[in-house]
Structure 1
Amino acid sequence: MVNSKNLNEIIDVKLLQCIQDRLAEITGLAYNIVDFKGNPINSYSNFCSFCNKMRSTPEGMKICYDANAHAGLEAAIRQEPYVFKCPAGLVDVATPIIVNNNYLGAVFFGQVRTNKNNLEPIKKSNYYSKMCKINPELLNDFNETKYVDYSKIKSIYSLVDIVVKLLVEKSELSSIQEELSFNNLKLLREKEEKTKLEQQLKVSELNSLQTPINDDFVLNTLNVISSLALIEDAPKTQEMICLLSELFRYNSKNIENLVSLEKVIENISVYLKIQSTRFGERIHYEINIDDTLNKLKIPTMVLLPFIEYAVLNGLCPKREGGTIKIKGYCNENNAFISIEDNGIGISKDELFLILNGKCKRGSLEAGIYNSNKLLIDYYGENYKAQITSEINVGTTIILKIPLSDV
């Protein structure tokens, strides 16, 4: 989510300015820092002649700021540096500044040409080609921009990412110190609150077993929604808010052990719509459930952990994304639900650890283990999930449910 405070109130922008000036001197590249709207909050370092001229007009400046806003947001979603082409065709890198799960802005560097040919512009515009036709000197300025090998760009953005994370840690530690100073004045009350929090934690841990929505997913989605709402007037934002509300409504109303498969699939469809909106053309999905299975009763949270894992750990790491297919059908006395993706796959060793509960508590892998255990507890050992996977090909998960629960 976007913090109500300004970036310069939370992180040491002056220090970052000094660092970016030194980096600009060493690398010969252009640098600047923007807020979450794409507006610069400090002085440019080493901007090339072409970009300075493009930003000298109101229209050119607006296009650049808008492109930075979207590139910074994309970097925040990925939570890592994002390499892209600006609308003019030059390569830039956005490194997100995220403090306490709040996206505040980004550090940009680049304005170069490189040998990586499959980078697409973050936003398309014919303004630059139009301006170059009017003023041929601009085309010369573009052709004189630096050419930097892509491997060097990767090395530089790794360094910038380290610097930003160190400053973020410093900011977060400062925030913690302020909070501790405040709490020291109310030590007696804190002890009482600690007891209450410990009790709430136990309740929360129990409730988490009944909650199919991953906390990181909720935070990232809210981050996207709030950022998009402030950046653009878009129906996409309204749709995201409505879809997320449906998820929360389902989660709050369906806390019983068993619900109909029809209701579960409706909730999964909402989840997949949110993810396809969040990741655009990188995530596709298909759902085909036999109508005779609509009334089949299953545990409310048993399917979504498998689908979350397929999307976030299977498809998202692939640059081009992929497709998840969900099918439901009958065979003799059992219903079968298959979840198939063409993602990066799971190694045999990793799958062994997941199915045996050797994974971090609260992780997507733990969700798969818990869901599989729930199937076994409800229906018996013969109804455990069947998972097959091949690296760089994809994963197929087949769940079997007795038709006696229709």
Structure 2
Amino acid sequence: MENKTEIAFFDLETTFPTPPGQRRAILEFGAILVCPQKLQELWRYSTLVRPSNPKLISSLSARCNGITPEAVVLAPSFADIADTVYDILHGRIWAGHNIVRFDCVLIREAFAEIGRTAPEPQGTIDTLALLTQRFGTRAGDMKMASLATYLGLGKQTHRSLDDVKMNIEVLKYCATVLFLESSLPDTFPENHWVSPNAASLQQDVTMEENPILQPPEMPSTVTVPESCSDSLGFLEPDEVSLPSIRALHVPFFRGSQRVKLFYEGAILQLCCPRLRIRFGISKKYSDHAGRPKLSFVVDASPSLCGVLDTCDRIVQKFYAESGCSSDWRCVVSRKQAYVNYPTVRLRMNSHHLSLFSLFIHDEILSIPTAVNGDVAPYATDMYQKEPSGTTQKLIFSKFDATELDTYFKPGTFVDSYLSLNPYDYQQRSGIQLVATKLVIHNE
């Protein structure tokens, strides 16, 4: 491999996958070669890219980045620019925001589609992981738009070359702050700097495995607007009038905001009685501390699926109108193998707390646990209901996956009390269902 000393900062703009699960097509490629010693721009390149199927550019895609089908009619195809992209990237250090899980993957897929060998980097700098690890979560979700707002650098345009330039400026600003803090620790204590712009940031619930990408703290309750309350409590799906559901921004983490679902002036929460367990406890995945992330699968009722489908549409539209281009993960999944049993994916909320999680038929429902040494009581209240109607709270002295096997057996029914938490993180967005209470029927 040729030794190329420049760092290649690059960014892609793509189609927005509609329906969810559809592959993305590259609409724009932009790159800036930077001197690693001075972070000085040496050369730049950008071009629109005509996808093989222009129909992939939906109205939602156009709203996200402003690239319309008409704009790419005369643009080159990816095959036409492949040699240039290869020369820019191959043998250099690749840099960009969230490129490991997004841009790098799409570049390799694009070369594979045209039967070409993909470029290979000397190394990769993902500024999302780097800045989250070194800069903390001062800018909320640490997305490029949030960082730019936090640092007063303007609004992200979601165009490749503009985003690359903003990425480089963000990196310079953050490096300066970290340098001052390390040089004058008494004057600039850790996490001292709270930007006046921070109130406009949106902090979403983190859904990923890597513990360094988690916010250092999270309140157990969310402060809602003055006009709203939580007096409605938990509603059964049949009690919910679908046209009354709406999404709003509410105050959240250190002056930031997040999206919540509301129903008639209160945060929407669901009570789902007698969900039948189809598959028992799974111990396939572990958290950063080595504790298993547990899950089980239940059948979801038609009324529950109706509410969740509506919530999906509302939140997806809300995010799209805010400029979000992340892959949408539907709560309700209708797999071919279970055509008569709609499924719901509830993903793990991996925070500084350890978590127990519940599938609602392929959908993981998070059950947080507060860990104190070897003692890990589940934050979700769990009860066992006897045939006589007597209900007893289950007390666990430690995190023990095996112990739970006896309670969560296939065919067992559970009453589930759920909160619905929209998230948008690392090019993935959707709704997380979190169990605050479970009642296990001992029949």
TM-score band, normalised by shorter chain: under 0.3
Higher strand share: 2
Q: Which has the higher contact order (CA 8 A, sep 6+)?
A: 2
Higher helix share: 1
Tell me the TM-score normalised to structure 1 length: 0.26
Tell me the TM-score normalised to structure 2 length: 0.25
Larger radius of gyration: 1
